[in-house]
Chains A and B, each alone.
Chain A
Amino acid sequence: MSHITSWREAFLNLLLHKARSTLAILGIVFGVASVICMLSVSEVARRDAVSRIERMGLKNIILDSVKPSKIRQKEENQGGEESSGVAQYGLTREDVKLLAATLPVIEKILPIRMVWKEVFGGLKKTEVGVLATTSDYPAVMEHAVRHGRFLAPLDEIHAQPVCVLGHDAAQTLFPLADPLDRFVTIGGAPFRVVGVMMRKGQSGSGEDFANPDQSAFIPLATSFARFGAYQVRNSDDTFEGTKLEVNRAVLQMADTSILGPTAQAARNLMEKRHRQKDVQVTIPFHLLAEHQRTERIFLWVMGSLAAVSLLVGGIGIMNIMLANIAERRSEVGLRRALGATRGDILRLFLAESTLLCTLGGLLGLAVGVGLALGVGNLAGWAVAFKPIAFPLGLGVAVLAGLVFGTLPARQAARQDPVLALRSE
């Protein structure tokens, strides 16, 4: 019973000093709000990073063709118009064959080529891109067909003029009709649509590779048969000629245990075959581990920041409680005269500071959620919250109330009641 009385009394006392109580908890409110907000932002960043990494496939090793620095430098020195020389770099079809032959631990190897050809739906030019690849694409990239079929091995063997449309590409090219067995014009040649993909959803993040939803997939062999190994890209007043056979090769493993050695073997093989450093090997699984490490550091930094802001909030509480106690000195003396023990006085003020911080914490949760939603709205994120953030934020606030309330409360409990009751 005496506990209920303590809390009730504490609550009433806080109500008696509304303005002061409100000011006192501002620090706690913003401390907790920043904890919630920061944890939310970090959660959004984490989910984004993890899904981006996972989309690359955790059982995969990714070999990317990169423009070697020598070529890039030459281009910069010569400047715009004269950069008409043909640059040759990157993975070749031969590399892909050799990798498959020398690394038997690889389950599948998937070459992907970005084809710089325009796609027309009827007479209208579209933003749809072209990816040349093989029949393993759906399995390796975990991207299923929704309608029709994907490119078949026979399409590759016979270099068939067929294509499969990404979800958004299908919508762009055939907003009303069923695209199956219709034709689209790629680089001036007609391609028959044999399938439409499910939506993959790359959520707008600046991808380093073409968005599969906005692409048309054609057989790799067809891309060479129709458009050749050399490609020319016209953009406004510059044009760029490149011999780049394969932009990306995705090696899929049976499991994650031999990713490291296999990647090293692939790297060695590529170094032997390519004088210039034009192939980059990435292991998404390792990126994930690396990401988790940075995330831990990030959380520590966030945690320290939150601790500092709660410390500031706690000191604010302590300050207010000290003022409160100084003002209510004679009340403390009176309560002692009425039979309050030192413990009663301690509990009286601890209940007040703890209640104050709990209210501050609850308010902070609300403000934090609001802030995160607001920021997410402005930045166009899907806001996410770490569930642990809520008990954590509230718990720390309550703890701050206890810790920073103890010193003032003890001071009040220890003061000499006679001195407090003397009439001045």
Chain B
Amino acid sequence: MPPSLIEVESIRKEYPMPGGAVQALRSVTLAFEAGELVSIVGASGSGKSTLLYLLGLLVTPTEGVYRYGGREVQALSDAERSRLRGRQIGFIFQSFHLVPQLSVLQNVLLSARYAGNGNGKTGGRARELLERVGLAKRLTHRPAELSSGEMQRTAIARALLMDPQVILADEPTGNLDEKTGAEVIALLEEFHQEGKTVIIVTHNLKLAERTRRKITIANGEVAS
């Protein structure tokens, strides 16, 4: 059997805090196949975001093994992890995290800033992606001029600019109403159809039911 795209084994993550360490993840073992669409659910504070950022190489595990494409990455240097993150992973956040002073197009292009694009094709690709998410006419607008659904769609275009293997979304509909949330999820499903591995952390159980695979986290552990 070929190795999964992502494998985590007996991962533990604790945050050292003045009043004693917080155990965010206790012993998590999971595998994700390339092209999967997965939702992660669980109570607030259960460790979902920590798990997602760990998968996205922004959090280093306190203990355990993380293999990306068969290669152990938990011990890589900051520069190597950052390069991998920039090329292979696209993030989507609940609060969008668009840079307010940059235009829609510039926000999308920010993705290329650290991913080492040498080919200069990103400009065209950014326009294409923005067209796909329905923002072709908003390229020069500032984030403040967009609705929250449009902001999240800008963020989706940004996440996809470098054509990453994996999309990690942390409560992408948390700040959206039901209708725009559904539109965003539909977009993510579209990209999943095209072969992206999409992992969505969500509170929304209705949404979670739409994915074939659902992981429940409770108290830092995989409950089901």
Contacts and interface: CB of A to CB of B under 8 A. Distances in A.
A78 interface: no
Interface in B120-158: 158
Contact of B113 (A5, A417, A418): A5
B59 interface: yes
Contact of B79 (A333, A334, A336, A341): A341
Contacts of B83: 339
Number of contact residues on B: which range applies? Answer: 20 to 34
A341 B58 CA distance: 11
Interface residues of A, number: 24
A343 interface: yes
Contacts of A336: 58, 82
A418 B50 CA distance: 8
B56 A337 contact: yes
A361 to B, nearest CB: 25
B85 interface: yes
A57 to B, nearest CB: 67
Contacts of B111: 338
Contact of A338 (B94, B95, B110, B175): B110
Contacts of A340: 82, 86, 113-114
A337 to B, nearest CB: 5
Contacts of A337: 56, 58, 85, 91, 97
Most buried by A among B59, B83, B91: B91
A344 B111 CA distance: 14
B28 interface: no
Interface string B60-80: 000000000000000000110
A259 B85 CA distance: 79
A346 to B, nearest CB: 11
Contacts of B171: 423
Contacts of B114: 335, 338-341, 344
Contact of B82 (A13, A341, A418, A424): A341
B113 A338 contact: yes
B49 A422 contact: yes
A343 B77 CA distance: 12
B105 to A, nearest CB: 14
A339 to B, nearest CB: 2
B196 interface: no
A421 B93 contact: yes
Interface in A123-161: none
B99 interface: yes
A331 interface: yes
A330 interface: yes
B35 interface: no
A333 B91 CA distance: 11
Contact of A341 (B49, B78, B158): B78
Residue with the greatest number of chain A CB neighbours at <10 A, chosen from B53, B87, B158, B171: B53
B114 to A, nearest CB: 4
A16 interface: yes
B181 interface: no
Contact of A339 (B53, B85, B94): B85
The 6 closest A-B pairs by CB, nearest first: A339-B86, A339-B114, A423-B95, A341-B82, A423-B94, A16-B101
